[in-house]
Structure 1
């Protein structure tokens, strides 16, 4: 009774502490997310400021060309104060020719417009005193006082429409070398044509709502110059830009706001899920401790076994993390992008391809890390085929696109080869590239730069020497550490010092694979100056026919499988419903008919219920309840009937060579390792059916 009360009391504490862990985790994570979003907003504000300043600079640059014409006109008038109508029209025609936005040119002696060109469209302005006219006098007075030209407007023009005036004061020099005010030269710009020729749509306005305005020096109110956006501004950023004798203001805001609702909801959901994850971890740990107290002797033995298993698992995960993190990050990143852009068919197709690509690289890395001991023992072999060197770069770019973008790292990829197609093991070369590139991304700070080059150095005996060079602007390493770089688990700095997690296993794998292919690897690095790693490998040059076959491989494989296997019936023995659904769907989409058995015993029963020839082959999982795949294969081979010789193909997650041997020894004809790739399945089926 006492023990039960004590357990209940302890259980109550566990749940209270679990709730506390959830609350604290949520507060910490939410604070971190809020900080990240503020940083993101600052970045967006900086970009918006740059866009605003660029727009104003573009306008100013555009208007400066007319300022030059205004100065020219002023100088000519000052040198010839008795300019007659013929001279004026000739000069004005020369200035206005080829300038659609230049609507007219005016001379205003003593401030009164006396000459206009062309007369037909500007006659209404003749006689206007700009020193007294309400909408012009403040600008004219400012020009006269400063002695410099003034941009006025946009204003409603006397001759109709909206325009901007470039008012330039003219002074003549008398006999005593004294300057006297003569009047003004005025260039009239059609504002609608100015906006059209500025072509502000060519800037980033598709991402922003904005308003450009200045203060009317006469009324002190805002004078709207340009506006873009249907919904108006709600949380705009105000940017001021100095113009000649004026200040222009740009109110700018992203179309979707500084933060999107989807982004906020996703971040909140991530915080909640991670907080729940930490709370569940704590709850599991606390319950485990409670059970440990209740069953001390038994749990001591179990704890020892768990500790040993955890140590093995930790070592395994520790060593694997260096190589797995990058493709996993690519899968997660493109999955998130896929969710955000699910309505964009083109992006969905692109993201799905990149997810598939990263998943395949992830699988290949797992296989290679597990086979590291085979490499060291000289038992590893190369699976060479005709491959594209350019495809190698595209693959690596897809894997690191998300990671580099998150760290604001600029990655440049260059391929300079004469022979694009060569014979090599694509998976192993990808792993070499992946490990080096992963280190470059991890050890390069935000805003850094990484260059990856693949060049063909020379050709000899129908082989080409390819050099893979990856150079970064990261933290670098000391010359003393470089000789130890390829030692397993060697690290110059701890994770605490470098702020970078890793195992120190990536570069030993690189060296082992490079030596397996008969190549060389060279490292150049200085602390604080970055690292440059070069790998040189000789590959056999693919002849024209093999290169063409490699280029068409993707198009041919699935089509041939459907044509040769269409209508054939396959018996699938698979106990996992998810795996069974995937396999059945893929096979049926390839034109095959499929029956599903949930274990080896059911497989044999279904086989013998049908007449000879009904099933063309059996796809057999290994680990199944009641009767595994090995037992089922032996039973089928021992049976004295027509199905004793039916092709049986192992299809299992047991991916070691020993498992392949066991499958063949049990009477199976072939072996396919999961996760399955349909082109491989179809190729194997074509061999046996």
Structure 2
């Protein structure tokens, strides 16, 4: 009897806990959506202010008055500081950004006064000088907004991860106590109700970024209602992970576009196998095409398969275009990808990648602005196929960074054809195998850190817990400190402990990771010059990585980090690969 009463109490309490955790995940998710959208608009308009002001200055210096643009810039600057319904701008609660905007407004008032003086015959030298100072302030404001947005995203990811872990724990406990209490008829009814709720929820969503969040919420709901079906619950959790990864890809699209527009993205050139590239592309899309009843084909003409370039960014470009082809090609259609290689000489080849589909096509008017950010064709299809409108803009800019060209031809109702042309250096198989072997040398026994002593400097409690748990599960002994000063003290006075590596968060209170690294390198400790120091940060800009390495860090891993990548880096720096 006591056990029966306990079960009844448990059956009341645990669903309440599940509901509360689910509600927290939902509220956090929806808040993150609104924040990311608002932050993205602030970043975008900060860049617009700079470009529009530059255009205005040029016009005024050539005696072309533009009071309308001056008025609009006044409104945008005020909106960036105080928020604006007209431009749908939120107030970015970041002191650095607000300080930069305040400085911009002050400088803008000086520029306006100087404009009117120039119009009355004054020399334009001072106007030019003021504008240059203003542009520097605008760049700083954009960067501050980007850093603030990235930090917000990282905090949201951390919060959602913790909430998801708590939710999974509740689900597992609930499954353990309830697996014998529900019958198949109840499971079917619950699944049917969950499906209806999910469909109703999806039908209300109007923006692309809400789609993966809806997937997370919907699958969590299904898992909650299928607590006594472990297989179904695991399937739901896997789908939650996929939706999270898709959401991260959308965030990355927004950040990539911002980095591209501000010249803060660089290519990482390395030897790669073009044949392997083709195979992975086919594996990625063949099943999706089959599920959509599409004929998907990849043909290739490759004579020198080993090339030097940024395979990850090239893959991003092709995946964007093929994904669009899948999205906009109706059932029973056809998608053909042709990868053709033309040898220019012994050192360089021309790579021509063509993606052709029999989809809905595009109008001539839209083709003229297809590569502009946030552009989408306004027709019936645009309501059926949502999107951020950033994929092609990013692809176009990445191809330009590769000194290549991307051409498109299309006709409504008759499909589209994209052609990417890039010249890449040719490499030897030996160069590729050297990299390939080093990357895969950890496939077996090297994927553990048994015997490693690691010093972790991390000021965020949840991030520290995640890193320590993952590293300790791989066999490492981890000592955690809360800031750079504690890291320096621990390293210098570690006594009999010889640390194999220091994992150093870059941004910490009291003493940041960069300052701590400099202090360690300049100390008289016997291992000051040799101890590997790996920077950990949510900032993944090239200049951040270069700065970290310039002051003495051996490597740099961006958050959220991949544990296998981190382990590989640790072992590599200890010369065990």
TM-score (norm 1): 0.45
C-alpha separation between the residues in 1 aligned to 2:572 and 2:363?
56
Please identify, of 422-431 and 534-543, the stretch whose mean Cα deviation from structure 2 is larger: 534-543
C-alpha separation between the residues in 1 aligned to 2:214 and 2:346?
40
Pairs within 5 Å for 1:583-602: 583-584=467-468, 586-588=470-472, 592-600=476-484
Change (3 A) 1:325 1:277: closer
C-alpha separation between the residues in 2 aligned to 1:438 and 1:429?
14
Could you tell me whether the CA contact under 8 Å between 1:357 and 1:395 is conserved in 2?
no
Decide which of 565, 568, 575 is 1:682's aligned counterpart.
568
- Asked if residue 546 in structure 1 is aligned to residue 431 in structure 2, the reply is yes
- Asked if residue 648 in structure 1 is aligned to residue 528 in structure 2, the reply is no
- Asked if residue 573 in structure 1 is aligned to residue 573 in structure 2, the reply is no
Aligned twin of 2:392: 507
Could you tell me whether the CA contact under 8 Å between 2:264 and 2:541 is conserved in 1?
no
Decide which of 351, 370, 377 is 1:492's aligned counterpart.
377
Change (3 A) 1:506 1:389: same
Aligned twin of 2:340: 455
Q: Which secondary structure state, in structure 2, belongs to the residue aligned with residue 481 of structure 1?
A: helix
C-alpha separation between the residues in 1 aligned to 2:541 and 2:274?
29
Pairs within 5 Å for 1:361-400: 370-372=255-257, 375-376=260-261, 380-400=265-285
Could you tell me whether the CA contact under 8 Å between 1:604 and 1:632 is conserved in 2?
yes
Change (3 A) 1:271 1:560: same
Q: Could you list the runs of 5+ residues in structure 2 that have no partner in the other structure?
A: 1-22, 24-183
Could you tell me whether the CA contact under 8 Å between 1:495 and 1:502 is conserved in 2?
no
Q: Which secondary structure state, in structure 2, belongs to the residue aligned with residue 525 of structure 1?
A: strand
C-alpha separation between the residues in 2 aligned to 1:366 and 1:507?
15
C-alpha separation between the residues in 2 aligned to 1:552 and 1:640?
37
Change (3 A) 1:271 1:583: farther
Q: Which secondary structure state, in structure 1, belongs to the residue aligned with residue 368 of structure 2?
A: helix
C-alpha separation between the residues in 1 aligned to 2:242 and 2:376?
30
C-alpha separation between the residues in 1 aligned to 2:554 and 2:274?
35
- Asked if residue 615 in structure 1 is aligned to residue 499 in structure 2, the reply is yes
C-alpha separation between the residues in 2 aligned to 1:325 and 1:481?
25
Which string of whole-angstrom CA distances, capped at 9 and with x for unpartnered residues, describes residues 542-597 of structure 1? 2121233344344225669669x763311112345554455345545666433233
Aligned twin of 2:312: 427
Which string of whole-angstrom CA distances, capped at 9 and with x for unpartnered residues, describes residues 181-218 of structure 1? xxxxxxxxxxxxxxxxxxxxxxxxxxxxxxxxxxxxxx
Could you tell me whether the CA contact under 8 Å between 1:477 and 1:527 is conserved in 2?
yes
C-alpha separation between the residues in 1 aligned to 2:339 and 2:346?
20
Change (3 A) 1:625 1:640: same
Could you tell me whether the CA contact under 8 Å between 1:361 and 1:427 is conserved in 2?
no
Change (3 A) 1:667 1:516: closer
Pairs within 5 Å for 1:35-46: none
Please identify, of 355-364 and 263-272, the stretch whose mean Cα deviation from structure 2 is larger: 355-364
Cα deviation, residue 626, structure 1: 6.9
Report the number of matched residues: 383
Q: Which secondary structure state, in structure 1, belongs to the residue aligned with residue 499 of structure 2?
A: coil
C-alpha separation between the residues in 1 aligned to 2:488 and 2:282?
48
Aligned twin of 1:413: 298
Could you tell me whether the CA contact under 8 Å between 2:265 and 2:542 is conserved in 1?
no
Q: Could you list the runs of 5+ residues in structure 1 that have no partner in the other structure?
A: 1-21, 23-258, 282-313
Aligned twin of 1:523: 408
Which string of whole-angstrom CA distances, capped at 9 and with x for unpartnered residues, describes residues 33-58 of structure 1? xxxxxxxxxxxxxxxxxxxxxxxxxx
C-alpha separation between the residues in 1 aligned to 2:188 and 2:286?
20
Change (3 A) 1:374 1:602: closer
C-alpha separation between the residues in 1 aligned to 2:550 and 2:435?
34
Could you tell me whether the CA contact under 8 Å between 2:334 and 2:358 is conserved in 1?
yes
- Asked if residue 471 in structure 1 is aligned to residue 356 in structure 2, the reply is yes
Cα deviation, residue 451, structure 1: 2.0
Q: Which secondary structure state, in structure 1, belongs to the residue aligned with residue 312 of structure 2?
A: helix
Q: Which secondary structure state, in structure 2, belongs to the residue aligned with residue 438 of structure 1?
A: helix
Aligned twin of 2:13: none
Could you tell me whether the CA contact under 8 Å between 2:501 and 2:532 is conserved in 1?
yes
Change (3 A) 1:363 1:507: same
Cα deviation, residue 615, structure 1: 1.6
C-alpha separation between the residues in 2 aligned to 1:684 and 1:651?
12
Aligned twin of 2:558: 673
Pairs within 5 Å for 1:42-191: none
Please identify which structure carries the higher helix content.
2
Change (3 A) 1:495 1:687: farther
C-alpha separation between the residues in 2 aligned to 1:612 and 1:408?
65
C-alpha separation between the residues in 2 aligned to 1:260 and 1:418?
60
Could you tell me whether the CA contact under 8 Å between 2:201 and 2:214 is conserved in 1?
no
Cα deviation, residue 506, structure 1: 2.2
C-alpha separation between the residues in 1 aligned to 2:201 and 2:405?
49
C-alpha separation between the residues in 2 aligned to 1:576 and 1:446?
49
Change (3 A) 1:630 1:580: same
- Asked if residue 442 in structure 1 is aligned to residue 327 in structure 2, the reply is yes
C-alpha separation between the residues in 2 aligned to 1:554 and 1:325?
35
Could you tell me whether the CA contact under 8 Å between 1:471 and 1:531 is conserved in 2?
yes
Q: Which secondary structure state, in structure 2, belongs to the residue aligned with residue 509 of structure 1?
A: helix
Pairs within 5 Å for 1:231-246: none
C-alpha separation between the residues in 2 aligned to 1:478 and 1:496?
12
Which string of whole-angstrom CA distances, capped at 9 and with x for unpartnered residues, describes residues 513-542 of structure 1? 222222222222111011111112222222
Change (3 A) 1:407 1:278: closer
Change (3 A) 1:559 1:392: same
CA RMSD of the aligned region, Å? 5.1
C-alpha separation between the residues in 1 aligned to 2:518 and 2:380?
52
Which string of whole-angstrom CA distances, capped at 9 and with x for unpartnered residues, describes residues 630-664 of structure 1? 56556656877557655432212122345446646
C-alpha separation between the residues in 2 aligned to 1:460 and 1:431?
27
Which string of whole-angstrom CA distances, capped at 9 and with x for unpartnered residues, describes residues 151-189 of structure 1? xxxxxxxxxxxxxxxxxxxxxxxxxxxxxxxxxxxxxxx
Cα deviation, residue 375, structure 1: 4.1
TM-score (norm 2): 0.53
Please identify, of 525-534 and 389-398, the stretch whose mean Cα deviation from structure 2 is larger: 389-398
